[in-house]
Amino acid sequence: MISPMISGDEELAPAKINLALHIRRRLDNGYHDIETLFAFVGIGDRLRFDNADGLSLSIGGPMAKGLNAGDDNLVVRAAYQLAEAAAMEPYGRLHLHKILPVASGIGGGSADAAAALRLLNRKWQLNWPMERLADIGTKLGADVPACVHSRPMFGTGRGDRLVPVDLGEVAEMPVLLVNPGVAVPTGPVFAGWDGVDEGPLKSTITLSALGSARNDLQPGAIAIAPQTADVLECLSRLDGAVLVRMSGSGATCFALFEREDQAQSAQRLLSASQPQWWVCATRLAAFS
């Protein structure tokens, strides 16, 4: 296992993928009871801290366009939540280097908030355990607790009741992430679920078991962003792809490969044939 800490002043916000996501029922409060398998990959946004009076955030990088660095940004909200829990005034100049697509189903904003909790926990010398940070993360979003841990987790409830899992034979497999350049709002995708419980997600993690699992949000995402179906079709035709699925509420999709050279070859192929898509070859990773 590796650490998401890049240096004492910088933290990686690893992208998450949902290897499977089963919806069991719609709750009266508008949320859904889900079962999901979280995994994380070796790429993500980066968050840096510089000592300064007061709290501020700046954003740069290839995916920074249009992002608001104000108080409604999840990084800033995470900082205020942590400071409130610690009964202190927040401080520090934060800079977010954004490389992950926005509203794309790979937890970019949630991962950024989680990275802020971990980084400020260290820089403010709180030294709280990850479980306490994850509890704070529940106020910021259903995926934030899993992103705080950034390790394979089986999630139930809203996805925030977590049990660590061993990915077994799929651990560290090469993975290709592809987003068609379309932001997909989570709420409408969940609202598009047909309400049919098609069964639980098995806790056994093998390629065969994952192959028979599903992402119940896929049809709703395709209805909103039909390009998602194009991505899935392209991925399914790639040599060496052993599992193809959409992550989260989309529109990012992924393919697992047996060998790294297959994933790299697929990245070159899709980057050339679909230059408008965001394409990234990486690997499943376990952080600690």
Q: Which two tokens stand for residue 287?
A: 């952080």
Phi and psi at residue 210, in whole multiples of 5°? Answer: -65, -35
Q: Tell me the residue length of the chain.
A: 288
Q: Is 98 a catalytic residue?
A: no
- Decide if 81 contacts 120 (C-beta within 8 A): no
The verdict on whether 197 is a catalytic residue reads no
User: The tokens 């806790």 sit on which residue?
Assistant: 203
191-225 as b/e: b if 16+ CB within 10 A = ebbeeeeeeebeeebeeebbeebbbbbbebbbebb
User: Chain-centre distance of CA 34, in angstroms?
Assistant: 16
Tokens of 162: 């977590």
Candidates 112, 143, 160, 216; catalytic one: 143
Measured CA to CA, the distance from residue 170 to residue 151 in angstroms comes to 14
Q: Among the options 16, 45, 98, 112, which is catalytic?
A: 16
| Rounded CA separation 11/133 (Å) | 15
Active-site positions?
A: 16, 143
